[in-house]
Amino acid sequence: MRKFHSYEEVDKDIHYYVPREELINKAYNSLLGEEPEKGGHYITVWGPRQSGKTWVMREVVDKLKLSNDFEVVILTMQSSEITTEKAVLELLVDGLTHWFRRDFPRVDSWKELELLFSEKNFSKPLILILDEFDSIGQEFINKFATEFRRLYTSRMNERHKPSDEKWCRLHSLALIGVRSVLGIENVSGSPFNVQRSMPIPNLTYEEVDSMFHWYERESGQTVEQVVIDQVFYETQGQPGLVGWLGEQLTEDRFNKERTKPIDLPFFENVYGAALHILPNNNILNLISKAKQEPYKEVVLELFNTKKKMSFSYDDELLNYLYMNGVVSWEQEKIGKYYAKFPCPFVQQRIFNAFARNMFRHIIQVYDPFDDLSDTITDNSLNVANLMRRYETYLRQNREWLLKDAPRRKTDDRIMEATYHFNLYLYLQSFFYDYDSLIHPEFPTGNGKIDLIIKHGSQTYGLEVKSFSGQRGYDKALIDAAKYGKQLALAEISLIFFCEHITDENRKKYEKQYQDVTTGVIVEPVFVVIG
């Protein structure tokens, strides 16, 4: 029986996969060219790690091989020994020699690439695909790009000749990497402005759905639709994460009774393990990138609930974070693009990592002799009073608690994410002696954070925001009511962080609001952090 797969390349004979025919055909047609006699295109194939770039291009190679009109090769340029120009060129030549099982001349300088791809070494037009191209370093990328552009121009000058009469046999080229346009740049202008860009998107819902139904047919084990929905929601179709969660859900470590369906409680158990105890090298690498300066401040700013962060590939920090899978983008309206986390799973792993790294010593959050009956009993919870206790805790411990908190470089203010992390861990500590569950949810991916508390037999929703004024307050009430409806809650708490608030304003704004459309009651609570 097939298996889900998340590391290395998917094998169509033994793993669940999706055809991705439209994407494969797009790359195939670009490399072949609209009029093959005139030549194909030079393309860059890019996307975040584990997005399936290499698999797509290997499928393209197999399709191109069906024609006997071309010589086709895919080589990897990743090597720990690439430190010099000579090593880069040797890697290329050795790769060609190994692939075609024939000798090629040594290349000692960049200008000799023209001779390497000449009629002396290739009797047919060559389609060259270089994987991990951006691993060779910016200096060598730029030199390669300059020569490839020259070869492209040379071939275009011979476009009216038959393919077997062209001196330059490099028919088309694909460069695969993780950086947008592979970071090909030059102070005197782009030397590679002949390429077409082909990003690799995530899997669609239909593609994820099809893999799990394929598993159902082969195994005979039912996967409830709500589980498939949750896998897609938590991963947003990121191929590596879909395969990884598929492995955990269907293999022996958790799935020991194949006669029982994979239902929502089963998924929640596996997903909890994925968040806290299951190693995933891609996620660990991603978190490591998020913690590095100067990217750390950008990541922390993404948790800001007051204002969304504009996105552009021209922003070097966001570009780097995007290509390493830390952030993505969304279009809100025409011309407006905003940065966001790529999926709830990644956002929660980053949230957990930053929270625990920032606040390791939240232990005793109330005096053991305190009477907590106004806040909590075994079967009830008063969220407003809980937030009052948190506000008191923050005020009394602020000096040491926030001593090393990250601050914005622009105005030296403590970053909003700090309070999100602190509140979450405060709640974890507060409920330590209770059989309760507290977990954050990230329904939009760009700042919106909701804390779900399951205590006694009830579920409590806390939507956490920073107070930005009357307009934002009014909108937040409506949004909170909608979210409460999604959670099937009759009431939901809307927690506003603010620098200060007068008794008069607290009385004015801390009024219950019942939404006309949903019927949900929203209870605003202000927490002073200043």
Does the bond joining 294 to the residue before it have cis omega, within 30 degrees of 0? yes
Q: What is the DSSP letter of 323?
A: H
* Mean pLDDT along residues 52-73: 93
Give yes or no for residue 392 having a pLDDT over 70: yes
Q: Return the residue matching tokens 């897609």.
A: 232
Distances (CA, A) of 277 to 241, 351, 438, 497: 15, 15, 17, 32
Query: Can you give the pLDDT at residue 195?
Result: 59
Query: Can you give the pLDDT at residue 447?
Result: 60
pLDDT tens digits, one per residue of 172-231 = 999 998 664 444 443 344 444 455 778 889 999 999 999 999 999 999 999 999 999 999
Give yes or no for residue 98 having a pLDDT over 60: yes
Give yes or no for residue 86 having a pLDDT over 80: yes
- Going by their DSSP bridges, the two strands 170-177 and 449-455 should be labelled as unpaired
Q: Exposed (0-12), middle (13-18) or buried (19+): which is 153, by Cβ within 10 Å?
A: exposed
Between CA 104 and CA 109, with CA 107 as vertex, the angle to 5 degrees is 165
pLDDT tens digits, one per residue of 158-171 = 878 877 778 889 99
Query: Can you give the pLDDT at residue 185?
Result: 42
Query: Can you give the pLDDT at residue 182?
Result: 45
Query: Can you give the pLDDT at residue 81?
Result: 67
- Going by their DSSP bridges, the two strands 126-131 and 521-528 should be labelled as unpaired
Q: In terms of CATH, what superfamily is 21-199? A: P-loop containing nucleotide triphosphate hydrolases (3.40.50.300)
- Going by their DSSP bridges, the two strands 521-528 and 491-498 should be labelled as parallel
* Mean pLDDT along residues 254-267: 94
pLDDT band for position 151 (cuts 50, 70, 90): confident
Query: Can you give the pLDDT at residue 298?
Result: 93
Q: Exposed (0-12), middle (13-18) or buried (19+): which is 137, by Cβ within 10 Å?
A: exposed
Give yes or no for residue 306 having a pLDDT over 90: no
Q: What is the domain partition of the chain in residue ranges?
A: 21-199, 205-278, 356-528
Q: For residue 245, which of 218, 214, 269 has the smallest C-alpha distance?
A: 269
pTM tops 0.85: yes
CA atoms within 13 A on the CB side of 128: 24
pLDDT band for position 406 (cuts 50, 70, 90): confident
pLDDT band for position 404 (cuts 50, 70, 90): confident
pLDDT tens digits, one per residue of 265-284 = 999 999 999 999 998 998 99
Query: Can you give the pLDDT at residue 186?
Result: 39
Q: d(Cα 301, Cα 305) in Å, to the nearest integer?
A: 9
Query: Can you give the pLDDT at residue 446?
Result: 66
pLDDT band for position 286 (cuts 50, 70, 90): very high
Name the average pLDDT for the chain. Answer: 89
Q: For residue 406, which of 284, 303, 285 has the smallest C-alpha distance?
A: 303
Query: Can you give the pLDDT at residue 290?
Result: 94
Q: What is the DSSP letter of 78?
A: -
Between CA 177 and CA 184, with CA 180 as vertex, the angle to 5 degrees is 80
Query: Can you give the pLDDT at residue 444?
Result: 65
Phi, psi of 227 (to 5 degrees): -70, -45
Q: d(Cα 131, Cα 429) in Å, to the nearest integer?
A: 48
